[in-house]
């Protein structure tokens, strides 16, 4: 299963300028406005378009960016996720190949670096093995390198492998989730419910 040419063109245009009207977008990609509207809805429902947000330049308003390399022992994965969710200055957590995590931290006062690292160090089985302050963002391209001539595969939301043929769809929370087979769907549903529960708990805490 792949995105069609129009959908790909729309994504390319929207990455350049997220704020344009549907009519203008339709002109650019060469289809009618209703087609753009329905495709836009589909791409949002699929979660491929995650949202339309304002991008702020953190350095102009006194924020500094740090990267922390975090290592965990045993089954501390869930503990680390909870820790990261509990602190608003942690902005991204990425699992790297081979095990360690890369954590992005934004602060507007140096004390907050200490605060944040102490929080991690206090957690049993979690440690920081490296910490870097970003001195300058030399190149920052927040969009994906899409190529108009290469159709994009839709990957299974659970196993991340390309979906061959018709997807197994799961409608939930106003979105359509695309899976490659019924066993992936089952596992994905479980994972999704677990994640939603955690998010709900986080919101209640805030
Ligand atoms: Zn799958």
Can you list the domains of the chain with their CATH numbers? 1-50 (1.10.10.10), 58-133 (3.30.70.1060), 150-206 (no CATH)
Distance from Cα 14 to the centre of ligand 1, integer Å: 28
Distance from Cα 167 to the centre of ligand 1, integer Å: 9
Average pLDDT value for the chain: 90
Q: What is the pTM of this model?
A: 0.73
Burial of residue 103 (number of CB atoms within 10 Å: 0-12, 13-18, 19+): buried
Distance from Cα 91 to the centre of ligand 1, integer Å: 28
Residue 205's pLDDT is: 67
Distance from Cα 1 to the centre of ligand 1, integer Å: 13
For 140, the token pair is: 């920052």
Distance from Cα 182 to the centre of ligand 1, integer Å: 8
In tens digits, the chain (206 residues) has pLDDT values of 889 999 999 999 998 888 899 999 999 999 999 999 999 999 999 999 988 888 888 888 889 999 999 999 888 888 888 888 888 899 999 999 988 999 999 999 889 999 999 999 888 889 999 999 999 888 877 778 888 877 788 999 999 999 998 999 999 988 899 999 999 999 999 999 988 888 787 777 66
Distance from Cα 175 to the centre of ligand 1, integer Å: 18
Distance from Cα 157 to the centre of ligand 1, integer Å: 7
Distance from Cα 45 to the centre of ligand 1, integer Å: 19
Q: How many CA atoms lie within 13 A of 28 on its CB side?
A: 17
Cβ atoms of 125 and 72 closer than 8 Å: yes
Of 71, 187, 161, the C-alpha closest to 125 is 71
Distance from Cα 150 to the centre of ligand 1, integer Å: 22
Cβ atoms of 1 and 165 closer than 8 Å: yes
């Amino acid at each position: 299963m792949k995105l069609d040419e129009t959908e790909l063109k729309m994504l390319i245009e929207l990455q350049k300028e997220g704020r344009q009207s549907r009519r203008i977008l339709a002109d650019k990609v060469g289809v009618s406005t209703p087609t753009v509207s329905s495709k836009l809805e589909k791409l949002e429902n699929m979660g491929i378009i995650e949202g339309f947000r304002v991008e702020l330049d953190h350095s102009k308003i006194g924020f500094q960016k740090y990267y922390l390399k975090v290592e965990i022992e045993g089954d501390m994965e869930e503990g680390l996720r909870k820790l990261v969710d509990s602190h608003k200055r942690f902005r991204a957590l990425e699992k790297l190949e081979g095990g360690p995590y890369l954590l992005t931290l934004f602060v507007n006062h140096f004390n907050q670096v200490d605060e944040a690292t102490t929080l991690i160090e206090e957690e049993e089985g979690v440690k920081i093995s490296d910490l870097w302050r970003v001195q300058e963002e030399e190149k920052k391209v927040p969009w994906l390198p899409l190529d108009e001539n290469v159709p994009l595969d839709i990957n299974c939301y659970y196993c991340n492998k390309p979906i061959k043929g018709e997807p197994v769809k799961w409608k939930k929370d106003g979105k359509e989730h695309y899976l490659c087979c019924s066993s992936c769907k089952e596992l994905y549903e479980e994972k999704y419910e677990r994640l939603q529960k955690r998010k709900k708990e986080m919101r209640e805490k805030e």
